[in-house]
Structure 1
Amino acid sequence: MYQLQLLLNIPELFTSLSKIDFYSSMFKNLDLSSIPEFHSSSPGRKGYSHHAMFRAFIVMKAERFGTISDLLDYLRNNLIIAHLCGFNILKPLPSYWTFRRFINEFSHDYLTSIFQNQVNILKNMGIISGEFISMDSTPIKANTKLNNPKSFSKNKFSKDNQPKSDKDCKLGVYSASNDSSNKRYKFYWGYKNHIIVDAISGLPIAETTTPADVPDFEVALSLLEKTNKWFNLKYVNFIADKGYDVKRVYNFVRDTLHGHCFIPLNKRNSKNPPLTDDGYIVCEAGIKMLKDGKQYFDGFIKQKFVCKFCNSKDDSACPIKHPKYFNGKKHRGCTKYAIISSDYRSSINRDSLYFKAVYRLRVESERYNSRFKALDFEKAYVRNINSVSNLNTFGHITLLTVAIVAIKLGKFDEFKSLVALMQSA
């Protein structure tokens, strides 16, 4: 004990005082009481404290380390930080394989409970409201050679060419350009982290990790439903990009959450002919066609249009002599159909100033994703979905805890900046 006290009396030999203050504040605002500190009673050694291991991975994300090896080197060179985590620095620290086994096997439910607790703390502080929420996903590349641009493997982005190093990752695609007129897409093997962000504070409310081939809208439905059970989303304003433009999302937000959607239309290569301002189709000859009945379906109306001269006996009536005008039938000329949506999705006025103003709040999702990726999440260095999910949630918990610490210290301009708070702590 005397040796330990001597070591702790000279912390400047290990790390800066600002780092010590930062991690002391971080760990003070992490309630780990819901996590059992050691394995349940069983024969053999009880192992290292789960609480200490948990705090060590918070250090890993706060220092923006991508690998466990970097974390282990940091703890060995900064024993005071290891002590703050809860390790006995007079004994050997956990090995690389101990850390790896922890991140592989640790139940994600424990991390979810800590994440939700941090969100509720910020909600009680009045920082997170949930009145306006934005959802987006960010790609995470798997640790496989097939993602290496210098790899010359044949058919490396074929669905049948599953990477041997990671059986859980799937083939995904993401946009490599923000230019809507010149979209470029890139394929990758990996995962996606889906995040619901409070669009006012720019802090996460919920998150989940899936293989890269799971559509965003499917995750949105399940994540919104789960989040609503512990975080009241009633009357929410849901903001998302075109990837979530699916009727089931609209109906869930309106019917279950009694909220509103702010999602731009995804045309999906629709071949529906353009309509005039008064709702008519103009034929190839430039003549307005006539309406000739409707068919009513669930969520849309099929409107039929016929040629203006469909009952004419004058062969010269069609100015372009269209072949269908000389079809030899009683009703001659072209016939076209237009699909007119009658559901909630089509009733939204996306040209209104209010819609555009609210939709601009989606930028908070992109900003948060940028802060999240800055914790070295562009690529996964572990090789299964549980490990990737755990590390992702550790990253979100780190950023939430940074916000809590900054607000409690009165540094409101730093609650979104990990680096600024670490330097000023």
Structure 2
Amino acid sequence: MQLSLFCDYRGYANSKYESLFLALEESHASVAKKKGPGRIGYGDLAYLKAYVYKHAEEIKSIPELLRNLQRNPVICEMIGFQYDSLPDSSRFYTFLSKTKNSEIQAIHHAAVQSLIGGGVVSLDVLIVDSKPVMANTKHNNPKNPSRSLDKEDKIPRNPKATLGYYSYLKQPFGTGKQFSFFWGFRTHVLVSEEGVPLVEITKPNNIADEQIAHSLLRKLKRVYGQKKGRVFIADSAYDHRQFYDFIKDEIKGQACIPINPRNQQAAKLLGEKGCPICPGGLEMKYSCITKSEGRTRKKFRCPIIAGTRPEKAELPGQCPCNHQRFCTGSRYGCTAYIDVTDDARAQVPRQSAWYKETYTKRTGVERYFSRLGSREVEQTTHFNYRAIRNQMSIAHLTLALTAVAAAFILEQPDKIRCYKSFADAA
């Protein structure tokens, strides 16, 4: 069927999908490898174009994609399919489950490299965050009476899916919070200040965010090179001492991360000598400086046990609150610590105007996820772990291609984030 004989392509000359597909072809050509002889059929690039179209059009399933392509013969020809001979749906599933994730990521990195080379994207400010990806399982249905919430379980057909925290709702009248959990994965991404995804990875959601961030930063360094002075912005979920040291020593950058209250000591009530007050109301005795796991702390002990003779003479002989550490066992008495660590975490200038202004840029990754969220992200329809990773990589790739198409093909660099309207005025 020769559509080109009677279809007017002038209306599509500067179209959204022609620009996206051209951006994809250029990025794919820079990393494509020659393959040996095999079965004749549609190439991988055609299936990848179809998936980019699927994500851009927010199509939820492969059968719906095929129905959409049947109604749009011009798009079929742009992708590389024959209108009267579309592939079977199984071919799409096979492509997603058999293609190496590294091949899709290489195309993504090539697209970003072109943006960096063209001065559209800079690597001076890096923002990281993650987004939940729900597994395709009945155990994510809150109305399911047999829903499993045991993190040790293995979900049938989703063995890689793990149980993790999803969100919480504040309850009225100060009754606390209601937490919700889900089975699935999390997609993690490093975004530039301009809102372009640089590197990404999808992992089971029981892996700590800061552990994944280590991998993302190493990948960023390997793909785009090292540069001193980069600013790394993240929320308090990444507040771990070892992570600050990693950013400072290996990335040679500056962290911009708020303190997580769960990783912070509660404020201690101090006495006249500057020592903590024990549960019995007595000012404790300074003992020594302790160092462990990169932390430096002042240690204080029960004054009745650790005090000097003159000090003990002015104190009661028995613990005022009959604390078990005083009355039982070795009678070592209560201990308290004050953290005085001077490390990379303590050196972040959180009270400065620079920090407050810089941290406001973290909302860029939230806006990025709002653009990504409508693309079948929070609910996957696949079971194979590689297929899920490829689904997410193509979703991130689609937004990177949007930036390439807007900046270079349509010459509208101010619309690199307008994934729905970047071609409207072209």
Q: Scaled by the length of structure 2, what TM-score is found?
A: 0.86
User: What is the SS of the residue equivalent to 2:60?
Assistant: coil
1:300-311 equivalences under 5 Å are 300-306=295-301, 310=307, 311=309
What residue number does 2:41 align with?
47
Q: Which residue of 1 is the match for residue 160 of structure 2?
A: 168
Q: Partners in 1 of 2:318 and 2:350 — Cα distance? A: 38
Output one character per residue of 1:98-130: Cα deviation in whole Å (capped at 9) or x when no partner: 111111111212111110011111112222211
* Alignment-derived partner of residue 3 in structure 2: 4
Percent of paired sites with the same residue: 29
Question: C-alpha separation between the residues in 1 aligned to 2:170 and 2:425?
Answer: 35
- Give the letter aligned to residue 415 of structure 2: E
Structure 2 CA distance for partners of 1:184 and 1:259, relative to 1, 3 Å: farther
Deviation at 1:273, TM superposition (A): 5.5
Conserved 8 A contact 2:14-2:423:
no
Q: Distance in 1 between matches of 2:423 and 2:75?
A: 14
* 1:413–1:176 distance in 2 versus 1, CA, 3 Å: farther
Aligned residues: 410
SS in 2 for 1:362: helix
Alignment deviations for residues 329-388 of structure 1 (CA, whole Å, 9 cap, x no partner): xx9986533343232222323232222222221111111111111222110011112111
Partner of 1:267 in structure 2?
261
Q: Residues 280 and 291 of structure 1 are in contact (CA less than 8 Å); yes or no, is this contact kept in structure 2?
A: yes
Q: 2:173 matched to 1:213?
A: no
Paired residues of 1:170 and 1:212 also in contact (CA < 8 A): yes
In the alignment, does 2:296 pair up with 1:295?
Answer: no
Q: Structure 1 residues 79, 19: closer, same or farther in 2, change over 3 A?
A: farther
Q: Where does the alignment leave 5 or more consecutive residues of structure 2 unmatched?
A: none
Q: Distance in 1 between matches of 2:111 and 2:101?
A: 16
What is the deviation of 1:158?
Answer: 1.7
Shift of 1:326: 9.4
Q: 2:122 aligns with which of 93, 118, 129?
A: 129
CA contact (8 A) 2:289 2:298 kept: yes
Take 2:381 and 2:250, find their aligned partners in 1: how far apart are those partners?
39
Contact 1:18-1:424 at 8 Å conserved across structures = no
2:32 to 32, 35, 43: 35
Contact 1:241–1:263 (8 Å) recurs in 2: yes
Change (3 A) 1:209 1:100: same
Give the Cα separation in 2 of the matches to 1:102 and 1:350.
47
8 A Cα contact 1:66 1:377, kept in partner: no
Alpha-carbon displacement from aligned partner over 1:247-299 (angstroms, at most 9, x marks no partner) = 22211111111111111222336665626599632345666544333233452
C-alpha distance in 2 between matches for 1:251 and 1:223: 16
1:346 to 2:340 alignment: no
2:217 matches 1:230: no
Hey, what does 1:376 align to over in structure 2?
376
Tell me, in whole angstroms, the C-alpha distance in 2 between the residues paired with 1:21 and 1:387: 29
Using the size of structure 1 for normalisation, the TM-score is 0.86
Aligned to 2:80: 86
What's the offset of the Cα at 1:195?
0.3
Aligned counterpart, 1:405: 405
Deviations 1:281-323 (Å, cap 9, x if unpaired)? 2345666544333233452223233566733354677999454
Unaligned runs of 5+ in 1: none
User: 1:295, 1:301 within 8 Å by CA — same for their partners in 2?
Assistant: yes
Deviations, residues 168-225 of structure 1 (Å, cap 9, x unaligned): 222222223599x955432111111000011x20111110111122211111111211
The structure-2 alpha-carbon separation of the partners of 1:260 and 1:275, relative to structure 1 and needing over 3 Å to count, comes to farther
Give the whole-Å Cα distance in 2 for the aligned partners of 1:65 and 1:226. Answer: 31
Whether the 8 Å contact between 2:277 and 2:283 is mirrored in structure 1 is yes
| Counterparts of 1:332 and 1:204, CA distance in 2 | 55
Q: What is the alpha-carbon distance in structure 1 between the residues aligned to residue 333 and residue 390 of structure 2?
A: 64
Could you tell me which residue of structure 1 aligns to residue 151 of structure 2? 159
Distance 1:407 1:300 in 2: 48
Distance between the aligned counterparts of 1:414 and 1:190, measured in 2? Answer: 33
8 Å Cα contact 2:128-2:365 kept in structure 1:
yes
1:145 counterpart (138, 151, 171): 138
Q: Residue in 2 aligned with 1:415?
A: 416
SS at match of 2:120: coil
Using the TM superposition, give the Cα deviation of residue 151 of structure 1 relative to its aligned residue in structure 2, in angstroms: 1.6
What is the CA-CA distance between 1:422 and the residue it aligns to?
4.7
CA distance in 2, matches of 1:301, 1:270: 14
Question: SS where residue 402 of structure 2 aligns?
Answer: helix
Residues 347 and 282 (structure 1), Cα distance of their counterparts in 2 relative to 1, 3 Å cut: farther
Deviates more, 1:212-221 or 1:301-310: 301-310
Conserved 8 A contact 2:120-2:413: no
Which amino acid counterpart does residue 166 of structure 1 have in structure 2? N
Q: Report the Cα distance in structure 1 between the residues aligned to 2:145 and 2:220, rounded to whole angstroms.
A: 43
Deviation at 1:395? 1.2
Distance in 1 separating the partners of 2:336 and 2:4: 86
Q: Which amino acid aligns with 2:276?
A: I
Amino acid at match of 1:101: T
Instruction: Name the SS of the counterpart of 1:350 in structure 2.
Output: coil
Aligned to 2:65: 71
How far, CA to CA, are the matches of 1:150 and 1:334 in structure 2?
A: 48
Structure 1: how far apart are the matches of 2:332 and 2:181? Answer: 50
Q: Does the CA-based 8 Å contact 1:285-1:320 persist in structure 2?
A: yes
Cα RMSD of the aligned pairs, angstroms, is 3.2
Q: Deviations over 1:19-39 (max 9, x none)?
A: 9711111112222223358x6
Q: Distance in 1 between matches of 2:275 and 2:357?
A: 31
Q: Deviations over 1:74-116 (max 9, x none)?
A: 1111010010011233x41111111111111112121111100
Alignment partner, residue 364 of structure 2: 364
User: Partners of 1:256 and 1:27 in 2: how far apart?
Assistant: 37
Aligned-partner Cα distance in 1 for 2:170–2:120: 30
How far apart are the structure 2 equivalents of 1:363 and 1:304?
A: 40
